[in-house]
Structure 1
Amino acid sequence: MATGFTFTVAATDGAARTGAIKTPRGEIRTPAFMPVGTAATVKAMLPESVRATGADILLGNTYHLMLRPTAERIAALGGLHRFMNWDRPILTDSGGFQVMSLGPLRKLTEEGVRFSSHLDGSKHMLTPERSMEIQALLGSDIVMCFDECPALPATEAEVAKSMRLSMRWAQRSRDAFGDRPGHALFGIMQGGVTRDLRQESAKALTDIGFDGYAVGGLAVGEGQEAMFSVLDYAPGFLPADKPRYLMGVGKPDDIVGAVERGIDMMDCVLPSRSGRTGQAWTPRGQVNLRNARHKDDPRPLDESCTCPACTGYSRAYLHHVVKSDEIIGSMLLTWHNLHYYQVLMQGLRDAIAVGRLAGFVASFHAGRASGDIDPL
C-alpha cells in the first residue's frame, strides 16, 4: 500500500462494507460516491458547494485535461488541486475509456493509442507511460492504470484479447508509476461478462500488486441485470483489504445494488448531467421539472431534503427556470442531485454499520416504487 494511503473496513453486512480510505489530503468515507469534475470543474457547481453536499473526493479526467489546458500547464500552475480550488482527494481516470470511445479517430497498438483530438484534430499518443506522466503532472491522489475498455456486446475472443492487453498495460503502468509516497495506483479488472476472464484478470492484477482495484468494463451497455450478475462474483476475486471501485456507475438503484455486492467507490456524471437537463433524483424516483404539472406547484421538490433547491424554492420556480434555460436551474438541480446522492451514501454507510442494510434497501425500493407526489 502506498505510504500515507490506508484502507480500513469498519463493518460488514453480507458482502457490503463500510470503512474509510485515509490519504494525506483527507479521509474518504466508504462506500463513496465521487462527483465527476471532467475538465477541472463539476459543472454548475463551486468546489465548496460540492464539498457541502458531503463529497469527500472528486474525479478528474485525464483525456480532457491533457488536451485542454494541458497537464504541463496545470503542473506549472501548482497542480490540479490548486488549479481548481479543491484541497481534498482527487482521483483521475487514465484516459483509456474516452480514447476508446473516439472510434474511427483512434488507432490501437501494443504500444498504446494514437488518436486525433475531438477539439481540433491534433494528433496525440497515449501510452501507459504517458498516462502515468500526465496523472503525475496533475498531482492526483488516486491514479488509474491505462487500460482498454471494449464496448459490449463483443465476442468472448475479443474481450479476452482486450483484457490481456490491459493486463500488459497494467504492468507497464505500475512500472512507470514508480514510488510516489502519498499517491495510490489502482489496477482495473476487465473481462466483460465472462467469469473465467474476470478471474484471470484479477489474478494478473493481484500478482502485480496495486493500492486498490477497479471493476472496469461495466455500465457500457450490458444492462443492470448483466452488471449485477458480474458483481455477484467479481469483487470476491479482488483482495478484501483493498478498496474496490466500480467505474462509471450509476443510477441510484445501480449504486445500491453495487454496494450490496461489496463495492466501495463509484463515480458517475449522472447527477450533474441530469441536473442540467431538468431531471431531479428523489427518494420517490426521478422527477422531470420540465413537465407542466409543476408550473403552479408551490411545494418543494422534496420536503425531506435540506439542499438549497428544496429549502428555498418551489417546484413552480424550478420549472420556470428550467424551461427558461436560466443558469440557476442547472445550479440548483445539480446541487440537489449531488446532495441526494451523498445522503444516499450516508444512509448506506449507516445501515451497514449497524447490520441493517436489508431494511434500508427495502425502504429505498419502496420509496422509489411509490412515485412522485400527486399533482395539485
Structure 2
Amino acid sequence: MILRKTNPNMNENEYLNNIQDVNANFINALIENNFVLPHEMPVEIHPYKNDLPLQNFDNYIIGTFPPISYLNDNILLNNEGLNTLHNPNGNLLSAPAIPFYHGNSYNLSLWQYILDEHLFNHVFEELNRLAAKDFLINYLQDNSINYSDIIYSTKRKKYSPSDSCLHDVIINDDLLKHILTNNNVTRLLFNTASAFSKSGIKIHQNNGERSIVGRVNVNNTANSFDLFFRALQDRNCIIKFSVENDNWIEVNVNNRVELSNIFSSKIIFKAKIVIPARNDFFNNEQEIAKEIYVVTPFSPAARGRVNSNPVILNWRQQNNNQDRSVLLKLIYQSFLRFNQEDLIFLNSLNVE
C-alpha cells in the first residue's frame, strides 16, 4: 500500500511495477537538463538503504528519508560530469557533508548525540567525506547499532528536507521483516513520532479516499513511528501499546480517544506486535507475538516550537534550564545502554 498519496485514484500496482524505470528516467533527464531538478517532483528511491546491512542486534534507530542533496553523490550523475546540482530556480543544492544518513548538517546531526565529542569532531572535521561514511558504518556495526529509514521510496511535494513534504510513500519492507524476525530485538527508537507530540497517536474514525477506519493516521505527518506502525497494520498485524503495568491498548477505532490522550508527550512505552499465522507478508506458519520497547524523542532537526513540549519543559525546569540538546544526548545514550537506570530515567521523562 502506498501511503500519503498525492492522487487518491492512482493505480498502485502500475506505480509500484514501474518505480525503478521511472526513477532511472528521472536520473537520465537530470543529465540531459544539466543537473537542474525538474519542476515536477520526481520519484525517488532511498540512496543509502543497502549501505548498512542490518544485523541481529537488539536495537534499531529508525528515520524517514534523506534530503534530495544526496543526488550529488549519485554514481551515474558523477560519471556524466555532475559538478553542481541545482533546484528549478537555479539555487545550488550543496552535497551533504557526509554521503550517509544524517550527513547533511553539522549543527543538527544525529551523530552528535550518538558519538562522543571527540569522535564527532574527528568524523566531521578531520576525515574526508567517504572516509567519514566508512567510519560511521564501522562504528554502528562495532557498537551493535542498527540504523535504517522506514521509507524505501517517496515523491516530495517540494524540494524541502521537511518530512511533511514526503508523499507517495512506499515502505521499506526489508526493515519490517528484519525487525519482526529478529529474535534479539528489544527496542526501537524513532527519530520522529506523534507519541512525543501533545496530540498523541491519531486513528482514522471513518473510511475515505486516504483513510481506513481504525488505522494510524499518517495524512498529516510523515514521521517514522506512525509510518512504521501503520505499515504493520496494513500488513494485517495487530498492534497494542502500553505505558506501564502491561495495560495494553489495542490500536483500533474504539480506542482512538485513549490513544490520543494517553500516548502523548511520551518518551518510552511498550508495543506488542502480533502477526497472525499464515500472514501473506511475513509468510509465517505460526502466530508471532513480540513485545518491544519504543523510544520516541524529538528530531535532532526540530525547530524552536519543540521547546514548548511538556517533556522538554519539565526536564529543563528540573535541570537548571539546560539546553534541550543535552536532554536528547541523554535519551540516545540511555537507549543504547538500556540498563535498569536508563529505563528509570526514560520513564521519568513521560508526562501524564
Q: Same fold (TM over 0.5)?
A: no
How high is the TM-score relative to the length of structure 2? Answer: 0.30
The structure carrying a bigger helix percent of its residues is 1
How high is the TM-score relative to the length of structure 1? Answer: 0.29
